[in-house]
Amino acid sequence: MDPLHQFEILPIAEIAIGGIDFSFTNSAFAMAIAVVLIHSLLVIGMRHAAMVPGRMQSIVEILYQFVARMVHDNAGSSARPYVPFVFAVFTFVLFGNLLGMVPGFFTFTSHIIVTFGLATIVITFVTVLGFVKHGLHFFSLFLPTGAPLALAPVIVPLEMISYLTRPISLSVRLFANMMAGHTMLKVFAGFSVMAIGALGEFPGLLAAFGPVVINVALTAFELLVACLQAYVFAVLTCLYLHDALELH
């Protein structure tokens, strides 16, 4: 029982452009489902927008207020126009993680290339924003205020390297969390199957209860981690946005 088999990319519709495989895979399908779910949640929730919100409208509004407050607290009030971007990032990661918890569904955030792509999008967006707003003065971000100029040749390269490792740390955090969680779930599930195989039917079924109980606790923990990692991704996006907009 290979615990890594669940991360295999399987094509649904083969598309090849110029000899390169661009097929619509199970990962792409999961991404599409996530987008459809997010959009339908938002649209259906606000269909009968009333002063006194009903259930769906409350859910949508609470989600929006959560992201808006997070952006306001961490990125300042000048980041108001970028709330939709942070909202898109947050809900994409959140729904990606949570869809992975549905039995049989593919977790597209457990692939390093996907999380790296997302992190790159975020950091590129933030950097371009910084350059547009501050021009070349953006590089003053790499020399923190109060640092003596004599140390600049040491500090600036260090700061630049640490800035360039931001996409890596952002992506690896999400990827490793998701992969480790799902691998552990699969391993413990494998223990149950192995117990039945090794001990025969009756004692095996009894012995298989242990890993299942652990799996229940692990599933709860993984749900928490799914939401937490989406939150952390979004908060870090807001912090990087703050760095780019305020430069300190």
Partner 1 sequence: MDAEAARYIGEGMKYIGAGLAVVGLFGVGLGISNIFSTLINSTARNPPMQEKLFPIGVLGFALTEAVALFALLIAFLILFG
Partner 2 sequence: MGTGEQGRWVGRWLTVLAMMVLLGWAEPGAAADAPAQAGHGTTNGEAHTASADSHAASNAHDAADAHGAADGHGDAHGHGGEHSGGLPQLNPETFPTQLLWLGITFATLYFLVAHVALPKVVETVEVRESRIAHDIDRADELKIEAETLGNQTEAVLSGARSKAQASITHALEEVEKQRRLRLEQLEVELASRLETSETRIQIAKEKALAEVQIGAASLVQDLNKRLVGANIPVAAARRAVASVGRESG
Task: List contacts with partner 2 (CB under 8 A).
Answer: 4-5, 7-12, 14, 16-29, 31-35, 38-39, 42-43, 46, 49, 51, 53, 55, 57, 60-61, 64-65, 83-85, 87-88, 91-92, 99, 102-106, 108, 110-114, 116-118, 120-121, 124, 175, 179
175-204 positions binding partner 1, by CB under 8 A: 175-177, 179-180
Within positions 157 to 176, which residues make up the interface with partner 1, using CB under 8 A?
169, 172-173, 175-176
Name the pairing type of β-strands 11-13 and 24-25: antiparallel
Q: Give which of partner 1, partner 2, none residue 172 binds (C-beta under 5 to 8 Å, depending on kind).
A: partner 1
Q: Which is nearer to partner 2, 5 or 248 (CB)?
A: 5
List the one residue out of 233, 192, 242, 3 whose CA is nearest residue 95: 233
CA distance 73 to 230: 17
Q: Cα 225 vs. chain centroid, distance in angstroms?
A: 11
- Pairing mode, strands 20-21 and 16-17: antiparallel
Q: Please name the residue ranges forming H helices in the chain.
A: 26-45, 55-75, 83-101, 112-134, 152-164, 166-199, 201-207, 209-246
Using CB under 8 A, list all residues that contact partner 1. 4, 169, 172-173, 175-177, 179-180, 228-229, 231-232, 235
